[in-house]
Structure formats: structure tokens, C-alpha cells
Amino acid sequence: RAKSTATNTICFYDPSMDQMARERNALAMEMRSGLQAGEFELFYQPQIDAVTSKVIGYEALLRWRHSRRGMVAPSEFIPVAERSGFIAELGEWVLRTACAEAATWGNPLCIAVNVAAQQLTDNKLPAIVGEILTQTGLDAKRLELEITESSLIADQQHALHVIRQLKRLGVKIAMDDYGTGYSSLSTLQTFPFDKIKIDRAFVEDVASSRQSAAIVRSTLILASSLDIPVLAEGVETEEHIDFLRREGCPQVQGFLFGKPMPRDAIDAVVNRNVKAEAPEVDAA
């Protein structure tokens, strides 16, 4: 009995948790100054038409080039930004930067932007997106907002209200990481998605696991009956793309076709065809 009390006492005060909270606070503060200092940037990963292998758009993925820590992964800082509330400001910066960048492209490709749960429950999001579209001049139908299922569970009615307003602006809504949430099917029933992105956990194993293959196959059938295009994430090998093409998956994204790249690297690609087709300008 004495022993169990002692154990409880240890659980009651855990200095390592205190330490973790301190580190999170420090990181949250560094994020604010990092945004001011221009340490954040967007990388862009191509999204591909599975039939033609042509680029149809890019997903913007946030990167933090920290002055001391080096490149910090989004999985490390996005959760901290969400907890501290800084995600609202950071997310708005991401939207504005991605839309401004896409507006300069010679080819009117789509730009997909990840939106966090807290942004989605903010009543101001549709107004913010509308203002960014006006200011950057980006055509609304080129913008796709990627949201995960977990960001929809908290307050479904509220999220639905915000999503409907966003769709009225003309932007598209994609369900990210499909299949990893608690109730993917009921989310499909409730929300008007324009795209389903199958999580890479399923794609990874399509060649080796009957279960994963069956899940991907049945998702493709389900989505096609609902008239929702599917994009398979995390396509890394020829085996993956062969399976997906055979099963009629319309869109893919993954290291096989391109890793997330800095802006300069894609600028040449998104303007290449346009430059080649543009008439020669007489220098005189």
C-alpha cells in the first residue's frame, strides 16, 4: 500500500513534464520572432495526373529554417503553434504567401494549402481567404484547402458552416489523410469534399498487404460513386503507381514524382511551357 502511494506521488509531480512545457513555450516564442525574421518559407510538392503524368498543381508545405536549430519539421512546430494559438497568424501567412506565389505562375495550376483545425473553426476564415484572393488576384477555383478529419470532429456544425462559406467563394475543399480518422465514412456523408487524399499509410503497403490494397481499392470505388476525385499520397515506387493506375486512381503525389521543393526550383517549371509558347519579344 505504501508503495502504491509513493508511485502516485511520483506521477503527481513529474519534472520532465514541466521541462517539456517550458520547451514548448520557448518554441512558441521563437516562432513569433522567426516569422518576423523571415525564417519561415513554403516548399511545393507536385500533384500529378496519374494517366498523363502531368503536373496539375502543387501542395504548399511549411518549412522553418531556424537560425540555430536548422530546418525544423512541421510535425515538430505545427502542434506547438496549435496549442499556443499562434497557428491563426502562421496559417494566414501560409495562405497569403501560397496564393501570392501561385498568382505569379505562368500556368494556372492549382495550389493546395493545409488548414489547421483552429483556422477552420474561426468565423473570420472565409473573410480572410476572400481578402487574400482579392489582394493577390488568384482565381478562387485554383485554391484548394486541405483539411484533416480530426479538425472536423470538435464542432461539426460550425466547421460545416465555415466550409460552406468557403465554397461559396469558389475555393475547393480536400479531405487530407483519408482513412486515418475516427469516422471517415460519416465525415464523407456530412461534408461536401471536392477531393479525397488517401493517406500514405495505405499507399505504402498496397503491394505487400491485402488489407491496404482492399482499403485503397474500395475507397476508389466509393469516391467514384460519390463523384469525388481521389489523390493517393506518398507514392514512392513503380509498384505503387502500377497498382494505383490499374485501380483507376486519378491523381497521385509522392517522392516518385517529386519531393517538396523550394520556390525557386518550381518557378522554372511553372513558367517553362508559357515561355516556350510565348511569342518572341522584339528587343528593339
Q: How far apart are CA 173 and CA 182, in angstroms?
A: 19
- Which residues does residue 66 pair with via DSSP β-bridges, in sequence order? 70
Is there binding between residue 204 and Mg ion (CB under 5 A)? no
Nearer to ligand C2E, 142 or 197 (CB): 197
Nearer to Mg ion, 27 or 116 (CB): 116
Binding mask 137-166 for ligand C2E (x = CB under 6 A): ---------x--------------------
Could you say which residues in the range 94-133 bind Mg ion, by CB under 5 A?
114
The distance in angstroms from the start CA to the end CA of the chain is 94
| Continuous H helices in 226-260 | 238-246
Per DSSP, 123 falls in state T
Closest CA to 173 of 151, 203, 204, 154: 151
C-alpha cell read off for 180? 486515418
Please answer whether residues 230 and 251 qualify as being in contact, where contact means their C-beta atoms are separated by less than 8 angstroms: yes
Helix, strand, coil share (%) of the chain residues, nearest 5? 50, 20, 30
Is there binding between residue 62 and ligand C2E (CB under 6 A)? yes
CB of 260 to ligand C2E, least distance (A): 5
Q: How far apart are CA 256 and CA 234, in angstroms?
A: 8
Please select the residue that binds ligand C2E; options are 177, 181, 184, 188, rule is CB under 6 A. Answer: 177
Is there binding between residue 254 and ligand C2E (CB under 6 A)? yes
Please select the residue that binds ligand C2E; options are 219, 234, 244, 247, rule is CB under 6 A. Answer: 234
The item of ligand C2E, Mg ion, none sharing an interface with residue 234, based on CB under 5 to 8 Å by kind, is ligand C2E
The item of ligand C2E, Mg ion, none sharing an interface with residue 62, based on CB under 5 to 8 Å by kind, is ligand C2E
Is there binding between residue 57 and ligand C2E (CB under 6 A)? no
CB of 33 to ligand C2E, least distance (A): 19
